[in-house]
Homo-oligomer: A and B are copies of this chain.
Amino acid sequence: MDARLQKQLEFIREIDKVKSVFRKTWLLDQSRYENDAEHAWHLAVLAAVLEEYAETPMDTARVIRMVLIHDLVEIDAGDVMIYAEADRAGQEEKELAAAERIFALLPDDQARDFRALWDEFEARRTPEAIFARGLDRFAPILHNFHTRGRAWREHGVTAEQVRRINQPIKDASAALWQVASDWIDQAVDNGWLIGP
Residues on A lying within 8 angstroms of B by beta carbon are 1-2, 5, 8-9, 11-13, 15-17, 19-20, 27-29, 31, 34-35, 37-38, 40-42, 44-46, 48-50, 53, 61, 64-65, 68-69, 106, 110, 142-143, 146, 175, 179, 182
Contact = CB atoms under 8 A, between A and B. Distances in A.
B41 A5 contact: no
Given A13-B146, A64-B64, A68-B44, A34 B19 contact: yes
B1 A49 contact: no
A37 B29 contact: no
Contact of A37 (B2, B37, B110): B37
Total copies of this chain within the assembly: 2
Majority DSSP secondary structure for residues of A touching B? helix
Contacts of A12: 42, 45-46, 49-50, 142
A29 B143 CA distance: 28
A28 B13 contact: yes
